[in-house]
Amino acid sequence: MIELRRSEDGEAAEPSRAPYLDDEAENGEDDFGGERVGEAGIPLLSAASERTPQPALARHRETTPIYRRRSTLLAAICAVAVLVVLSGLAAVKTGLADGPSRNFQLLQRRVVAKLKNGERLRIGIVGGSISAMPNAYGDHLVEWLNRNWPARDGSQHEVINMAIPGSESGVASICLGSFFRYSPSRDAEPPIDLLLVEFAYNDNGILPGSEGETDFTISRTSNYERIFRSALSWPIPAMVIELVSYSGDVRRPPLRNSFLSSSGYSHALVAQHYSVPVIDFAQTMYSWPQLDDLAGFYVDKGIHLSQPGHILTASLIARELILQLSIGTNASSSVIDLSKVHPDNSGPSWPHVAAWSAQPFAPTPEAPSPDAPLSPLPPARWQYGPMRQWECLSSQINHTKAALENSAVVQDGWEMMIDQSDGGRTRSKSRPGFTANSTDSHLVYDLDGRGTQGPTALLYRRSWRESADALVWLDQDKSADGAKRPSGPSCPESPVRLHGTWTTPTTQMVLDEICGGDSSWTSKADSQKPTYLHVVTVEPDREEKEGKYFKSYGFAVAG
């Protein structure tokens, strides 16, 4: 018989012959009037049956064109629909492929264009102790720029180094604007043209698999995403510096490359999402042919760089800049015409480095149009909560520490100090803060009128170690009565309980929004009165991590 089959998606397919097997089929007959059917159900027609179709078969043949016309029509409709969908997807894909990333656009506009025009370049750095070392890679990079791409007005290229020894990426992700004294709502122009981000070792305290826990609202992926989104919205471009190379002691082989088990893998995922170049010192070390040379790039077991290590890192950054310059100067060819790149260049290694950066086996990307609007940022993938531009007063930022201490108008049981609670001697030196060692300790920050203008948050320590909790709220009364009986408007209506501990095996500075700045608070608060942020330590409500220690690094208000 003829069977009109349907495909898996329910659309009609071409009619096909299907065997109808019954008791008679054993004798080689079927319902086609005695036709013999083979093993696969294919009719075995005799010469006579080919010349004279049986009546039943003839009736089926008369109806077959109807099915075929219908199935052909359905197939045509499906084909048109598929073509429309595919063409739409192709258009979207082409649009995405043709549209340059915002970071690529900004590298060309804020870095390449300035160097080609002989303008001064300002490079900002956020990172840990490696970046903060004397005569570090940033200084060597500026020296290279001044030698090879001098500013025409005689000024010097500048590095603004805001690296903090022992700090993870969480501080910069929250307080990036405060690091460079910049507020998009207040300042017309960002103070830097390029941001270098280096938290390779310090972010390693966040173990793989710990990110994304329900109580872990700060992670290295979400931190890097906030850094990139903040910088790109200013707008300035970014580059990532990855310095983790080997696990263990570089002075005692055998060595193991630890990139995939380090923060480098997480950083690279976010960098790829935002088209941010990764300057991979780790890869250079991994591919270094002479094992005996490796220890010379460090001053210790394989973390802090020696001068040769810093110089090599600066050279790797310079290579990326040369690639960007080659794209912006001679984009129509995959081979760099050195005469068009910089005719006055006198760097002895320029031809070799330029040729290395040209990637001759692949076409050089075309430079984006300088007049095209900036591409939109890709959707956020890792950050938690709303993306805000915070203005911080933090004990971890040198130029805000004094203002933070002056804002602490009540310090009942609190002391500004450096202790060993934040992960050891090295990291603790970079983490001064207001510390309490007993419950019912009361700390009050005077927000200087800013608390009635928008969201307010507390910067504080969370750790796997035993800690106290804290009740936190805003009001316009210095006393601690608001913890139980508010005498006036407060935000929120009841204090927020913050936990000093979490299950993640690390200690970090985190931010928790205390007051969202909604109208229920701003309409009742008196803008002529000072606004206070209260922190009162209390016993933890979780027995497994009971303690009396709590630490605040300051506060932040949304700009």
What residue has token string 């007051």?
Answer: 515
On the question of pLDDT at 482 being above 70, the answer is yes
CB within 8 Å of 139: residues ≥ 6 apart: 159, 310
Average of pLDDT values for 22-43? Answer: 33
Answer yes or no: same fold for 102-307 and 390-558: no
pLDDT in tens, 219-264: 788 889 999 999 999 999 999 998 876 666 777 766 665 555 567 7
What per-residue confidence (pLDDT) applies to 338?
Answer: 44
On the question of pLDDT at 14 being above 90, the answer is no
Taking the C-alpha atoms of residue 240 and residue 271, their distance in angstroms, rounded to an integer, is 7
User: Hey, which residues does 516 pair with through a beta bridge?
Assistant: none
On the question of pLDDT at 415 being above 90, the answer is yes
Q: Does domain 102-307 have CATH number 3.40.50.1110?
A: yes
Average of pLDDT values for 495-517? Answer: 85
Amino acid at 128: G
Q: How confident is the model at residue 421 (pLDDT cuts 50, 70, 90)?
A: low
CB within 8 Å of 122: residues ≥ 6 apart: 157, 158, 159, 160, 191, 192, 193, 194
State how beta strands 194-198 and 238-242 pair. Answer: parallel
pLDDT in tens, 425-436: 555 566 889 999
On the question of pLDDT at 271 being above 60, the answer is yes
Contact 254, 211 (CB under 8 A): no
On the question of pLDDT at 159 being above 80, the answer is yes
The whole-model pTM stands at: 0.74
Look at residues 182, 98, 168, 179 and name the one whose alpha carbon lies nearest to residue 127: 168
Higher-confidence residue of 388 and 3: namely 388
User: How does the average pLDDT of the chain come out, rounded?
Assistant: 76
Q: Which of 145-159, 167-181, 325-339 has the lowest mean pLDDT?
A: 325-339
Taking the C-alpha atoms of residue 86 and residue 506, their distance in angstroms, rounded to an integer, is 48
What per-residue confidence (pLDDT) applies to 54?
Answer: 41
Contact 198, 163 (CB under 8 A): yes
On the question of pLDDT at 325 being above 90, the answer is no
What residue has token string 């609007």?
Answer: 373
> What is the SS3 assignment for 419-435?
CCCCCCHHHHCCCCEEE
What per-residue confidence (pLDDT) applies to 237?
Answer: 98
CA angle 327, 331, 334 (to 5 degrees): 90
From its phi and psi, is residue 254 left (phi > 0), alpha (psi between -120 and 50) or beta?
A: beta
Q: Helix, strand, or coil here: 557?
A: strand
Higher-confidence residue of 34 and 102: namely 102
Return the domain boundaries, the chain.
2-96, 102-307, 390-558
CB atoms within 10 A of CB 547: 18
Higher-confidence residue of 234 and 333: namely 234
Determine what percent of the chain is predicted with pLDDT higher than 90: 42
Q: Which of 34-43, 51-60, 202-211 has the lowest mean pLDDT?
A: 34-43
What per-residue confidence (pLDDT) applies to 363?
Answer: 55
Taking the C-alpha atoms of residue 506 and residue 422, their distance in angstroms, rounded to an integer, is 9
What per-residue confidence (pLDDT) applies to 510?
Answer: 84
Average of pLDDT values for 317-344? Answer: 63
What per-residue confidence (pLDDT) applies to 491?
Answer: 92
On the question of pLDDT at 401 being above 50, the answer is yes
Contact 139, 159 (CB under 8 A): yes
pLDDT in tens, 486-499: 778 899 989 999 99
On the question of pLDDT at 2 being above 70, the answer is no
Burial class (CB in 10 A: 0-12, 13-18, 19+), 404: buried
Burial class (CB in 10 A: 0-12, 13-18, 19+), 319: middle
CB within 8 Å of 348: residues ≥ 6 apart: none
Average of pLDDT values for 197-211? Answer: 69
The DSSP line for 250-299 is TTSS--EE-STTSHHHHHHHHHHHTT--EEEHHHHHHT-S-GGGGGGGBS
Q: How confident is the model at residue 51 (pLDDT cuts 50, 70, 90)?
A: very low
On the question of pLDDT at 163 being above 90, the answer is yes
Q: Which of 222-231, 500-509, 516-525, 544-553 has the lowest mean pLDDT?
A: 500-509
Taking the C-alpha atoms of residue 291 and residue 429, their distance in angstroms, rounded to an integer, is 34
On the question of pLDDT at 423 being above 90, the answer is no
Contact 530, 452 (CB under 8 A): no
From its phi and psi, is residue 62 left (phi > 0), alpha (psi between -120 and 50) or beta?
A: alpha
Reported as half-sphere exposure (CB side, CA atoms, 13 A), residue 328 has a value of 22
Q: Which of 48-57, 76-85, 384-393, 548-557 has the highest mean pLDDT?
A: 548-557
User: Which H/E stretch holds residue 43?
Assistant: strand 43-44
Q: Does domain 390-558 have CATH number 2.60.120?
A: yes
Reported as half-sphere exposure (CB side, CA atoms, 13 A), residue 141 has a value of 28
What per-residue confidence (pLDDT) applies to 456?
Answer: 94
What residue has token string 């050279």?
Answer: 315
What residue has token string 């959707």?
Answer: 379
CB within 8 Å of 143: residues ≥ 6 apart: 314
Q: How confident is the model at residue 211 (pLDDT cuts 50, 70, 90)?
A: very low
